[in-house]
Chain A
Amino acid sequence: EAGVAQSPRYKIIEKRQSVAFWCNPISGHATLYWYQQILGQGPKLLIQFQNNGVVDDSQLPKDRFSAERLKGVDSTLKIQPAKLEDSAVYLCASTSRRPNTEAFFGQGTRLTVV
């Protein structure tokens, strides 16, 4: 079974530029999460999708972050414009069941904003 795929693995941008991350969850997984992990901290939920609908985006900075999951499969997370404090690893995870007895994580995209 293929795991959660994320791209790119690394990205360096200047502040005020925009960036997009892509996630392909495990086939058949209805729930998809985007987490932000700042260095030295635990992952913090940005947004949670159930199929192609958003079920929790309460911690997403909506003035600059957006995410979509068209057709309930792949997802993209965008930041526009980026700030220095957005430097972090962005993790995508997916799970098939409620409650999620196991969420599978991708390797993440490490974003550096300079």
Chain B
Amino acid sequence: GEDVEQSLFLSVREGDSSVINCTYTDSSSTYLYWYKQEPGAGLQLLTYIFSNMDMKQDQRLTVLLNKKDKHLSLRIADTQTGDSAIYFCAETSTSGYSTLTFGKGTMLLVSP
């Protein structure tokens, strides 16, 4: 079955860039997503990328996709303390009914 792996923890200083990495195994993955979860809250979609793209930029967020290596990354520029949260990588494919499969999440801690 599908598998999504992420690094578990990242600590950065405010103002630095953060890079969160993710690998996936399903070669039929069509969309890849980054979700953010703050304590006690649901999941908030940050951005997504279609598999025929290799980069997407959205304000402070840059998503890079290496389809050959099945590697996805999320770069947050000028990281702020409000960015502290758990970030989940997720994927879906157009086969079947597009189940959304998540990684275990990366906890990002931003210190002042």
Contacts and interface: CB of A to CB of B under 8 A. Distances in A.
A44 B45 CA distance: 17
B102 interface: yes
Contacts of A93: 43, 100
A77 interface: no
B105 A99 contact: no
A95 to B, nearest CB: 8
B48 to A, nearest CB: 6
A45 B100 contact: yes
B100 A98 contact: no
A45 B92 contact: no
A48 B99 contact: yes
A56 B99 contact: yes
A50 B45 contact: no
A83 B93 CA distance: 33
B97 A42 contact: no
A40 B104 contact: yes
A105 interface: yes
Nearest to A33: B100
Given A56-B96, A56-B97, A42 B42 contact: no
B45 A42 contact: no
Interface of A: 4, 31, 33, 35, 40-45, 48, 50, 55-56, 91, 93, 98-108
Given A56-B96, A93-B100, 11 more contacts: A4-B42, A42-B4, A43-B88, A45-B100, A56-B99, A91-B43, A98-B97, A99-B92, A105-B44, A106-B42, A107-B41
Interface of B: 4, 30-31, 35, 40-45, 48, 88, 90, 92-94, 96-105
11 contacts: A31-B97, A41-B104, A42-B102, A45-B100, A45-B101, A91-B42, A98-B94, A103-B45, A105-B44, A106-B42, A107-B41
